[in-house]
Amino acid sequence: MTQEFVLGLIHQGRLAEAMNWISQMNAVDVAHWLEGLDDNKVLVIFRLLPKDMAAEVFSYVSSEWQEFIIESIADREIKNIIDELFLDDTVDLIEEMPANVVKKVLKNTNEERRKLINQFLKYPDNSAGSLMTIEFVDLKKEMRVDQALDSIRRNGLDKETINICYVINKNRKLEGIIPIRKLILSDPSEVIENIMETNIISVHTLDDQEEVAGIFRKYDFIAIPVVDNENRLVGIITIDDIVDIIEQENTEDFQKMAAMQPSDEEYLKTKAIVLAKHRVPWLLVLMISATFTGGIMQQFEDVLQSVVVLAYFIPMLMDTGGNAGSQSATLIIRGLALDEIGLNDYLKVIWKELKVSLLVGITLAVVNFIRIIIMKQASILVAAVVSVSLCTTVILSKVIGGGLPILAKKMGLDPAIMAGPLITTIVDALALLAYFLMATWVLGL
Amino acid sequence: MTQEFVLGLIHQGRLAEAMNWISQMNAVDVAHWLEGLDDNKVLVIFRLLPKDMAAEVFSYVSSEWQEFIIESIADREIKNIIDELFLDDTVDLIEEMPANVVKKVLKNTNEERRKLINQFLKYPDNSAGSLMTIEFVDLKKEMRVDQALDSIRRNGLDKETINICYVINKNRKLEGIIPIRKLILSDPSEVIENIMETNIISVHTLDDQEEVAGIFRKYDFIAIPVVDNENRLVGIITIDDIVDIIEQENTEDFQKMAAMQPSDEEYLKTKAIVLAKHRVPWLLVLMISATFTGGIMQQFEDVLQSVVVLAYFIPMLMDTGGNAGSQSATLIIRGLALDEIGLNDYLKVIWKELKVSLLVGITLAVVNFIRIIIMKQASILVAAVVSVSLCTTVILSKVIGGGLPILAKKMGLDPAIMAGPLITTIVDALALLAYFLMATWVLGL
């Protein structure tokens, strides 16, 4: 509604009015709106944005639009945006833009900031250093509360990152933290040292983002300080970035569990050839592994030829085994990811899966037996062989599905690869082996 | 380290010193520590905690320990905890505890709070109302900044929920929001009305938690106001609760995608019989569906008997089809969950999956053809039939895997059920049909 109306105002040349309306909108909504418009309109609207809002909107549009905007606007305008952007957003921008755009950005960045950017670019991908922002408030422990508040006002940083203030000594070592609300609630003449919290949980610049996310989850933090090797405060990580990391880590787990190489690009924005590249390797490995299952059938050629009816139950046995194994693997992989299951719970997990698989296996076997008899698909003897094999398969799949993820983690691998597809391939071979051995024995072939 | 040391102090009866150490620790760490100790020690340490910390630690221990603590401590101590607890944590407590414990809790809750608790208990599970907290700061728009700060100080609420203040009129209708940092940075004589933000995004008490999480993700909020039918402010939801919700929703998706009924209980704390109950229904449905695949083989009994070698490739075909379909389904389900793919992207998805599946299918088919020939497993003609069937299967699986989740969402179902297991079952039947039809035709059977 508003958006149509604003476009109308712009069309009529009533730009001041349009600007007034736009400045009332939420920056995220403006960014989404711009992404659906054509080039010219985007530039017109972008130039109508108040200075601080322009930077915020800029940080929310896709990198294609960021590139277009930087290429289209004047140096002075670029400078305004870069000055207002969070440093970590600027670094992300530089990492994603082509060389000519990067040049234009750096030209409009002051020297001090350029130095900081270079330092940031050295942090490894997915490290705490690459995630942090340097826009935070630092205080000295000798300050009184009123002096601290004055210092915050003089600094004038109007960002969410000032909700928690950091107390450092003259070597920039972190000595305490104090939420801004505590400053407000405290007596103005109180000394910071007496009211700051000294039991600080911090992360190191090189810590992995998944670890950092785990700490936020555990302690319900809204921000965490990041320190370097000398324990000097170099930045902070805020919860809004962690929410993105959590979703990204979950997406990677979903992808790995479905036998794909992880990628954080959006599906619709990824080219078919790139998607295919992420999918082929595991499919190849699993395809070739599955030929072993075919090999097992080949070993039992005689059995299969004399009782062809045995073949008809193979898909059901294989599918049920795969599904039963996936269920267990999924629960364990998820439990490991959320730290609900530890490496020492190995035996507990196996024992629990044994009990569950016995309950599940017997239920399925009984239903299957009755179904075969009612539908007159095979003799009682064959039905019995199929059902006992089914129960055996379920037990094997669940124990393997529950055990392999923990084993992977113990070996320093990502448990997520031990999910459905791999478990299915392993279980298929075992299921067929159990089936044919039992058939050979019971049917006396 | 500290923990061992503190236990030593307690053992020596140096309780004041122990108390001093414990009060320096993080409440979450104390909670985790307590969970590993025996009953007596837990009570001793719990009683040493400063009053406000006791409530925080209490909110972090498992419900089994909460029950034990409430049963063991005196009414006065319970009252201290309940007074300090966030209202939403109290409500969670009441929902989880057995009747005798609930009685003990309510007895030590003042009447006003009891009324609020009753009101909270009426919000449906997973609604914004059931998630919100009522401990927030409300201001009037006529106030000056210094008056607002005074009012916050008088109120004295030392919780993270005061990072953002809410401006309401005399009917408690929400008129604006103002971050506490803005109060600090503004001129003390400024009137709230002039500096508050009026473009407010809020949620309704009955909105689903998944929707609320989506809004936090989109706007990078740290808190959001919750309003009732009359647009009156009744509570706020903070980001730390949303992080838990996001993980919970992800866990549910993982479980549904692995053909389980979702549950938010921790694996190790769930009884085997309950786990089995969550797993059996889908396994039964899929097992019975898989018999159709067996039925298809039965139709081609003659083909199978005259060229037994065809049977050996069935596991490979079925597994690859299932894996290829799971990959596509997973990407689409995830894209839908993160709002990266919309219902109108139907054709785009199908078209992209067609291209990807062609690339993937041909690659796999070529590798497979060469492998069969090199390993001399079958004649060139059979190898060709297997490879063409493989390519067809991959294309079918990927198009079905990409399309079904969107179709499910269009029909108001959860896309997550259209994942690996169901896709595998559907694709198995189609793969075998394609395989045998092609074999009959090419081999002239």
- Domains annotated for chain A, with CATH where assigned, are 2-122 (1.25.60.10), 137-245 (3.10.580.10), 267-442 (1.10.357.20)
CA angle B166/B167/B170 to nearest 5° reads 125
Say what the pLDDT of residue B9 is: 85
Q: Please say whether the beta carbons of A312 and B299 come within 8 A.
A: no
Reported confidence tier of residue B306, pLDDT bands at 50, 70, 90: confident
CA angle A169/A173/A175 to nearest 5° reads 70
Question: What integer is the mean pLDDT of A270-276?
Answer: 78
Reported confidence tier of residue B204, pLDDT bands at 50, 70, 90: very high
Sign of the Cα pseudo-torsion (B32, B36, B39, B40, in order): negative
A267 and B335 in contact by Cβ < 8 A? yes
Q: What is the number of alpha carbons within 13 Å of residue A258 lying toward its C-beta?
A: 32
pLDDT above 70 covers a percentage of chain B that reads 98
Say what the pLDDT of residue A254 is: 80
pLDDT digits (tens, 9 = 90+) for A17-41: 888 888 888 888 888 888 888 888 8
Q: Please tell me which of the candidates A218, A305, A368 has its beta carbon nearest to residue B287.
A: A368
Q: Is the pLDDT of residue B162 over 80?
A: no
Between residues B305 and A46, the one the model is more confident about: A46
pLDDT digits (tens, 9 = 90+) for B23-43: 888 888 888 888 888 888 888
Sign of the Cα pseudo-torsion (A191, A194, A197, A200, in order): positive
If residue B179 lies in a helix (H) or strand (E), which one and from where to where? strand B174-179
| Surface of B (99-158) touching A: CB under 8 A | 149, 152-153, 156, 158
The C-alpha of A54 sits at a distance from chain B's nearest C-alpha, in angstroms, of: 16
Q: Is the pLDDT of residue A324 over 80?
A: yes
> What is the total residue count of chain A?
445
Q: Which residue in B57, B197, B200, B360 has the most chain A C-beta atoms within 10 A of its own C-beta, making it the best mutation to test that interface?
A: B360
Is A182 an interface residue toward B (CB < 8 Å)? yes
Is A297 an interface residue toward B (CB < 8 Å)? yes
Question: What integer is the mean pLDDT of A419-431?
Answer: 82
Say what the pLDDT of residue A253 is: 81
Reported confidence tier of residue B157, pLDDT bands at 50, 70, 90: low
Q: Please state, in angstroms and rounded to a whole number, the distance separating the CA atoms of residues A94 and A72.
A: 17
Q: Please say whether the beta carbons of A54 and A21 come within 8 A.
A: no
pLDDT digits (tens, 9 = 90+) for A57-104: 888 888 888 888 888 888 888 888 887 888 778 888 887 777 777 888
**Nearest-by-CA chain A residue for B156:** A185
By three-state DSSP, how is residue A263 classified? coil
Between residues A282 and B152, the one the model is more confident about: B152
Question: What integer is the mean pLDDT of A134-162?
Answer: 82
Transcribe A280-347 into DSSP letters.
HHHHHHHHHHHHHHHHHHHHTHHHHHH-THHHHTHHHHHHHHHHHHHHHHHHHHHHHHTTSS-GGGHH
Is B186 an interface residue toward A (CB < 8 Å)? no
Is B322 an interface residue toward A (CB < 8 Å)? yes
Pairing of strands A223-227, A203-204: parallel
Nearest alpha carbon to residue A255 among B254, B161, B274: B254
| Surface of B (198-257) touching A: CB under 8 A | 198-199, 201, 216-222, 239-240, 242-244, 246-247, 250-251, 253-255, 257
Nearest alpha carbon to residue A237 among A251, A219, A223: A223
Residue A212: its chain B contacts at CB < 8 A?
Answer: none
Say what the pLDDT of residue B1 is: 62
Rounded alpha-carbon distances, angstroms, from residue B410 to A167, A285, B336: 53, 35, 11
Residue A349: its chain B contacts at CB < 8 A?
Answer: 267-268
Unique residue bearing structure tokens 């971050």: B179
Q: Please tell me which of the candidates B251, B286, B320 has its beta carbon nearest to residue A283.
A: B320
Q: Please say whether the beta carbons of A208 and A126 come within 8 A.
A: yes
Q: Is the pLDDT of residue A267 over 80?
A: no
**Nearest-by-CA chain B residue for A333:** B254
Q: Please tell me which of the candidates B25, B297, B363 has its beta carbon nearest to residue A312.
A: B297
The C-alpha of A243 sits at a distance from chain B's nearest C-alpha, in angstroms, of: 7
Reported confidence tier of residue A391, pLDDT bands at 50, 70, 90: very high
A243 and B239 in contact by Cβ < 8 A? yes
Find the largest Cα–Cα distance for chain A.
Answer: 95
- Across all residues in chain B, what is the average pLDDT? 83
Dihedral class, residue A233 (left if φ above 0, else alpha if ψ from -120 to 50, else beta): beta
Q: Is the pLDDT of residue A157 over 70?
A: no
Token representation of residue B401 = 């895997």
Reported confidence tier of residue A156, pLDDT bands at 50, 70, 90: low
CA angle A408/A409/A412 to nearest 5° reads 90
Pairing of strands B223-227, B203-204: parallel
CB atoms within 10 A of CB A84: 17
Residue B152: its chain A contacts at CB < 8 A?
Answer: 184-185
Q: Is A264 exposed, middle or buried (0-12, 13-18, 19+ CB in 10 A)?
A: exposed
Q: Please state, in angstroms and rounded to a whole number, the distance separating the CA atoms of residues B84 and A274.
A: 54
Question: What integer is the mean pLDDT of A334-344?
Answer: 82
Q: Is the pLDDT of residue A218 over 80?
A: yes
Residue A220: its chain B contacts at CB < 8 A?
Answer: 28, 240, 243
Q: Is the pLDDT of residue A224 over 80?
A: yes
Q: Which residue in A30, A146, A238, A316 has the most chain B C-beta atoms within 10 A of its own C-beta, making it the best mutation to test that interface?
A: A316
Reported confidence tier of residue B73, pLDDT bands at 50, 70, 90: confident
